[in-house]
Structure 1
Amino acid sequence: MSITELLGIKYPIFQGAMAQIATYELAAAVSNAGGLGIIASGGLSADQLREQIQKCREKTDKPFAVNLMLMMPNCPELVDVVIEEGVQVVTTGAGTPKPFMPKFKEAGIKVIPVIPSVKIALKMQEMGADAVVAEGTEAGGHVGETTTMALVRQVAKAVDIPVVAAGGIADGHGVAAAYALGAVGVQIGTLFLVAEECPVPDSFKEAVLEATDTSTTVTGRRGGAPVRSIKNPMIEKYLELENNNASRDELEALTLGSLRRAVHEGDVQSGSVMAGQICGMLTEIKPVQTMLDELMAEAREVQSALVIG
């Protein structure tokens, strides 16, 4: 069964669950355009998540998902909301969904963890995941160490469940490449940062559009929580402190509220503008529908024109 048949969607394209950005507005736009819109629940209360789900359902009658950051202290409450609201798909990150799998299965919910390694992919398959998203280090936000090309192929060979590729994909060539590696679909985040429907300030979108292939960097490697963002004065200061073995308290003081500053206040100098390495390829703001239609049309052109040898 294809991922589109499994989830009841038109295109094999997931929208990444970008923290504080992947709200119902963006999720509904992606679902209406034929992909799988995903609401990011990280940082939300149970009531806030319920409101997001209900508002999303007002804007679309197509399938959409909720992403659960499993390290969140209120995750059990969020799981209950997802079940009560009849959400049919969840993606997960930052922990194991094992404690909640019986509830999910009983409710008929499809569980798709985001994973950074073959080892974790196999664990997710063993506990009953319906698919996995193999996300390479090219992605924006919290990242692993393995590149998309190396990770997706190895995961696809190792597991029997569908694999969705993520990290560094923003056009039809990337979609076709993911399929060549054994994926059955893609998850895309950075491209949607410059969608008309993406609820971030213009300054945030401009920072992404002005970025080049070398504009991002990863902070937090020393502390074991690597995050990819576009370089700015705050990020440069963080790297300086990190390289000088600054304490965790010093680093947290610098970054406290930095995502909110970028996403809600449009401060791209002292805020955290999380984006992937592919941002250097993005040149204009477009509607989500145009993005998805172009992605799939180009992917099919690439596939039909591909000549090996």
Structure 2
Amino acid sequence: MNKVCELLNIKYPIIQGGMAWVANSSLASAVSNAGGLGLIAGGNAPKEIIKEEIRKCRELTDKPFGVNVMLLSPFVDEIIDLIIEEKIPVITTGAGNPAKYLDRLKEAGVKVIPVVPSIALAQRMEKLGVDAIIVEGTEAGGHIGELTTMVLTPQVVDSVKIPVIAAGGIADGRGIVAAFALGAKGVQIGTRFICSEECNVHENYKNMVLKSKDRDAIVTGRSTGHPVRTLKNKLAKEILSMEKEGVPSEEIDKRGIGSLRVATVDGDIHNGSFMAGQIASIIKDIKPCKEILDDMVSQAKNIMPNIEL
């Protein structure tokens, strides 16, 4: 049996990305019901909001689901408490090192899967005793590292013994086969699920993804040390020109504050931050999560009949 499926008690080794303001109970439960692992994004939300999402998710699915914990969140301590209280079976972590919470989480039986952008961090996480790692290439949407999925995945696979889950640039069965050929035991997919029926973001966000072309997912914020991949629009171009002019990073950061909510909730195509991966332009339709997963799996099996999905 596939190691990731065994570890997480799921049908397919496909994890839905923990996209802030996108991955709520509606999307997470739909992915879990379809056989993957749905995630509720913690983002910068306080405990009460995440608790309510967990409650809703439990009403919508009896399958395992997890929470993505953003370690830079001002509420991270209370979110970890909540995960333990609610007996959440698995968490993924981003934007930091989960070391200080690991003992408590392990004691509570929570599986911990950090997102890592480098071999050094992957090895450090393995030493700390995490259950698996998500290797995220620069193709991904949102906050990114510099190395590509194609390059980083096999190097990390060769340097650790725990299961490696590949993320960044995967939106169909071909991407899954490529990740498995590089040694991954599972994949994490984000952008494709934005264009699912159960994703509650503003329709304009979905349309931005559907209309995007191959060079539309650009990176802003490199000069601030916090690079983010978003779809090209007025805000992204404005930030890029601020960077070119050498505007201080505090001012650049200030310009982006709240822009993700402006995209996901308000659907403002000019001033919102429409985070999406480089694979966005491959996505041409909006379908239920079950159909998305089934199509991916059958395409992967057609290409590689002996793939361990």
Instruction: Mark yes or no: TM-score above 0.5.
Output: yes
Report the equivalent of 2:170: 169
Report how far residue 244 of structure 1 moved. Answer: 0.9
Q: Distance in 1 between matches of 2:203 and 2:253?
A: 27
Q: Quick check: 8-17 or 252-261, which moved more?
A: 252-261
Q: Distance in 1 between matches of 2:125 and 2:69?
A: 15
Structure 2 segments unaligned to the other structure (5+ residues)? none
Report how far residue 250 of structure 1 moved. Answer: 2.3
- 1:204 and 2:205 equivalent? yes
Q: Once the two structures are superposed, what CA deviation does each residue of 1:10-66 show, in whole Å capped at 9, x if it has no partner?
A: 011000000111011100000000000001011211111111111111100000010
Asked whether the equivalents of residues 71 and 95 of structure 2 are also in contact (C-alpha less than 8 Å), the reply is yes
- Following superposition of structure 1 onto structure 2, how do residues 61-80 of structure 1 map, counting pairs within 5 Å? 61-80=62-81
Asked whether the equivalents of residues 117 and 137 of structure 2 are also in contact (C-alpha less than 8 Å), the reply is yes
Report the equivalent of 1:87: 88
- 1:158 and 2:159 equivalent? yes
Q: Once the two structures are superposed, what CA deviation does each residue of 1:79-124 show, in whole Å capped at 9, x if it has no partner?
A: 0000000101010011111100110111011000000000000000
- Following superposition of structure 1 onto structure 2, how do residues 253-268 of structure 1 map, counting pairs within 5 Å? 253-268=254-269
Report how far residue 223 of structure 1 moved. Answer: 1.1
What CA RMSD, in Å, does the superposition of the two structures yield over aligned residues?
Answer: 1.2
Q: Once the two structures are superposed, what CA deviation does each residue of 1:191-213 show, in whole Å capped at 9, x if it has no partner?
A: 00100111111111000000011
Q: Quick check: 202-211 or 66-75, which moved more?
A: 66-75
**SS of equivalent to 2:63:** coil
Report the equivalent of 2:285: 284
**SS of equivalent to 2:131:** coil
**SS of equivalent to 1:134:** strand
Report the equivalent of 1:30: 31
Q: Quick check: 246-255 or 42-51, which moved more?
A: 246-255
Q: Once the two structures are superposed, what CA deviation does each residue of 1:213-232 show, in whole Å capped at 9, x if it has no partner?
A: 11111011111101000000
**SS of equivalent to 2:15:** strand
Report the equivalent of 1:300: 301
Using the aligned pairs only, state the percent identity: 50
Q: Distance in 2 between matches of 1:15 and 1:247?
A: 35
**What TM-score results when the alignment is normalised by the length of structure 1?**
0.97
Asked whether the equivalents of residues 44 and 74 of structure 2 are also in contact (C-alpha less than 8 Å), the reply is no
Report the equivalent of 1:229: 230
**What TM-score results when the alignment is normalised by the length of structure 2?**
0.97
Change (3 A) 1:192 1:100: same
The number of equivalent residue pairs is 306
Q: Distance in 2 between matches of 1:263 and 1:302?
A: 35
Report the equivalent of 1:46: 47
Q: Distance in 1 between matches of 2:158 and 2:203?
A: 41
- 1:107 and 2:108 equivalent? yes
Structure 1 segments unaligned to the other structure (5+ residues)? none
Q: Distance in 2 between matches of 1:186 and 1:209?
A: 22
Report how far residue 305 of structure 1 moved. Answer: 9.8
Which AA in structure 1 matches 2:106? K
Report how far residue 73 of structure 1 moved. Answer: 2.2
**SS of equivalent to 1:119:** helix
Asked whether the equivalents of residues 71 and 98 of structure 2 are also in contact (C-alpha less than 8 Å), the reply is yes
Which AA in structure 2 matches 1:119? A
Give every structure 1 segment of 4 or more consecutive aligned residues whose post-TM-superposition deviation is greater than 3 Å. none
Q: Distance in 1 between matches of 2:306 and 2:273?
A: 40
Which AA in structure 2 matches 1:141? G
